[in-house]
Amino acid sequence: MTARPTLVDDLRAARRRFSVEFSPAHDEATAQRQWRAVQRLAPLGPVFASVTYGAGGGDRAGSVELASRLARETAIRPLAHLTAVGQSTAQLADVLDELAAGGVRDVLALRGDPDGDPRAPWEPHPQGLQHADELVRLALQHGAETVAVAAFPLGHPDSPDLDTDVRHLLGKFAAGARCAIAQLTFDVEDFLRLRDRLAAAGCDVPLLPGLLPVTSPRVLEVTRRLTDGHEPSWLHRRLDPFLDDRGAFREEGMRVAVEDGRRLLAEGVEVLHLYSLNAASNVEALVGELGLAAPAGDG
């Protein structure tokens, strides 16, 4: 029997493809809508689907359940988020064992932000881990096949400068991480500069940009949280004229996402990480516009 390719194998082989992110649902209606989205997107052949975890492990059960269901009921490879916030090393090990038992082989290891206030000073659990590189090692010790990590095109808020931030990222790769997903940024140049910095350091791990179509004022607020308030002024100039016209706002937001996606593809990026917000329509539209679906029979 031929061994299944690893996540990194799939990323290196991918040509103009996408991955997608889901979050655990908090009610039955959202869970049903989410699973319909999964079923609609599965035939398009995402390279993987990441499943968020929640601050302090608040979505632990839902995250493990969703990632395991993806592994069990679909052909989509799940990538389970795991954060060190508010949990002991023993608790984190339990989660990793639960994921392995559910057939989830790949983990996105994140230090995470303090529960309730991402800007609050970081305080590790007394019996927990201090840094993401420690979580990378723990995941590998508990059988994770591929460990991914986060990258920050504008630098992590705790880093004094970009050079320091890149050194921290390289430390996560030295600990055993094999790929990275960049934090959402709307300036493609920021992502490309990070890619160049890694290349200059001799690092060629797969680095995926995050892309979120801003299709409503509510989603614009979501981007503020995902970018630590660094959404660019030009984005507001593009979208603010349509605040009172829901349809026009969505159209302009999709145009921005398509423009960014085309630029990234033109710069040699092969896999775009698309935030679904637990719905399929925007992801489907982007995949169609950018030609990111897997070839027939290759999903």
Q: Are 272 and 208 in contact (CB under 8 A)?
A: yes
Q: What is the pLDDT of residues 16-63, one digit of tens each?
A: 999 999 999 888 998 999 999 999 999 999 999 999 986 555 577 889
Q: What is the mean pLDDT of the chain?
A: 90
What per-residue confidence (pLDDT) applies to 124? Answer: 66
Q: What is the pLDDT of residues 247-289, one digit of tens each?
A: 999 999 999 999 999 999 999 999 999 999 999 999 999 999 9
State the amino acid at position 281 in one-letter form.
S
What per-residue confidence (pLDDT) applies to 119? Answer: 58
Residue 4 reports pLDDT greater than 60: yes
Residues in Cβ contact with 34 at an 8 Å cutoff, skipping those fewer than 6 apart: 22, 25, 66, 278
- b/e for 145-155, b at 16 or more Cβ within 10 A? bbbbbbbbbbb
**Active site amino acids:** 21
What per-residue confidence (pLDDT) applies to 1? Answer: 47
> Per mean pLDDT, which range of 115-129, 175-189, 268-282 is the poorest?
115-129
What per-residue confidence (pLDDT) applies to 156? Answer: 80
> Per mean pLDDT, which range of 63-67, 124-128, 162-166, 286-290 is the poorest?
124-128
Q: Are 80 and 148 in contact (CB under 8 A)?
A: no
CA distance 193 to 159: 17
